[in-house]
Chain A
Amino acid sequence: MFKSVGKRVPRFDGIGHVTGKTVYPSDLSMPGMLVCKTLRSPYHCTRIHFIDTTEAEKVPGVYSVITHKDVPHNLFSMVPDHHVLAEDIARYKGQNIVAVAAVDKSTALKALSKVKIEMEELPYVIDPVEAMKEDAPKVRPEGNLRVFDDVDTVRRIRRGDVEKGFAEADYIVEGEYWTPNQEHAPIETTASLAYLDGNGKLVIHSKTQGLYFTLGDLSNVFQLPLNKLKMVGATIGGAFGGQNSIHTDHIAGVLALKTGKPVKFHLTREEEMMYTTIRSAWRFKIKDGIKKDGKITARYVDVLEDCGAYTELGLYALEKNVNYIGGANKIENLAIDGRLVYTNKMPSGSMRGFGVNIGQYAEQVQTDKLARKIGISPFEIRLNNAFKEGDENHVGNPLVAVSGIETLQKVAKMAGVELPKEYQEMSSK
Chain B
Amino acid sequence: MSKVLKFVLNGMPVKVVAEPQETLLQVLREKLSLTSPKCGCNHGDCGSCTVILNGKAVKSCMIIALTVEGKSVVTVDGLGTDGKLHPVQQAFHEYGAPQCGYCTPGMVMAATAFLNENPNPSYDEVKDALAGNLCRCGGYQKYVDAVMAVAKGEFGPIPKGSDVDV
Contact with B along A18-54 (1 / 0, CB 8 A): 1111111011010000000000000000000000000
A189 at the interface (CB under 8 A from B): yes
Contact A26 B39 (CB under 8 A): yes
Residues of A within 8 A of B93 (CB): 10-11, 14-15, 17-18
CB closest residue in chain A, given B26: A105
Q: In this complex, what residue of A is CB-closest to B19?
A: A106
User: Looking at the complex, which of A152-160, A234-242, A341-349 is the stretch in contact with chain B?
Assistant: A234-242
Is B36's CB under 8 angstroms from A21's CB? yes
Q: Is A16 an interface residue (CB 8 A)?
A: yes
Q: Chain A, interface size: which category? A: 20 to 34
A187 close to B36 (CB less than 8 A):
no
Q: Which residues of A contact B35 (CB under 8 A)?
A: 20, 23-24, 27
Which has the most chain A C-beta neighbours within 10 Å: B39, B101, B103, B105?
Answer: B101
Q: Which of B135-150 contact A (CB under 8 A)?
A: 135-137
Chain B interface secondary structure, helix, strand, loop or mixed?
A: loop
Kindly report which residue of chain A lies nearest to residue B134, judged by CB atoms. Answer: A187
Tell me whether B98 and A188 are in contact (CB under 8 A).
Answer: no
Which residues of the partner chain A approach B80 to less than 8 Å between Cβ atoms? 19
A185 within 8 Å of B by Cβ? yes
- How many chain B residues sit at the interface, stated as a range, is 35 or more
Tell me the minimal C-beta distance from A187 to chain B in angstroms: 4
Known: A18-B89, A18-B92. A269 touches B100 (CB 8 A): no
- Residue contact A238 to B136, C-beta cutoff 8 Å: yes
Contact indicator A20/B40 (Cβ below 8 Å): no
Which of B42-50, B65-73, B114-122, B123-131 lies at the interface with chain A? B42-50
A235 touches B101 (CB 8 A): yes
Chain B residues contacting A187 (CB-CB under 8 Å) are 38, 40, 46, 48, 100, 102-103, 134-136
Residue among A14, A17, A29, A269 with the highest chain B CB neighbour number at 10 A: A17
Whether B101 and A22, one on each chain, are in contact in the complex, defined by CB atoms closer than 8 angstroms, is yes
- In the bound complex, residues from chain A placing their C-beta under 8 Å from that of B42 are 268-269
Q: Does B108 contact A (CB under 8 A)?
A: yes
Write out the residue numbers on chain B whose beta carbons fall within 8 Å of the beta carbon of A18: 76, 85, 89-90, 92-93, 98, 101, 104, 108
24 contacting pairs across A/B (C-beta < 8 A):
A8-B95, A8-B96, A10-B93, A10-B94, A15-B85, A15-B93, A17-B93, A18-B89, A18-B98, A19-B85, A20-B35, A20-B108, A22-B101, A27-B29, A185-B136, A186-B136, A187-B40, A188-B38, A236-B102, A237-B102, A238-B100, A238-B102, A238-B136, A269-B46
**Which residues of B are at the interface with A, using a C-beta cutoff of 8 A?**
29-30, 33, 35-43, 45-46, 48, 75-77, 80, 85, 89-90, 92-96, 98-105, 108, 134-137
Instruction: List 19 additional A-B contacts (Cβ < 8 Å) besides A18-B104, A187-B102.
Output: A10-B94, A18-B101, A19-B36, A19-B76, A19-B80, A20-B37, A20-B75, A20-B108, A23-B35, A29-B30, A185-B136, A187-B134, A187-B135, A187-B136, A188-B38, A235-B101, A238-B102, A269-B45, A269-B46
Q: Which residues of A are at the interface with B, using a C-beta cutoff of 8 A?
A: 8-11, 13-24, 26-27, 29, 185-189, 235-238, 240, 268-269
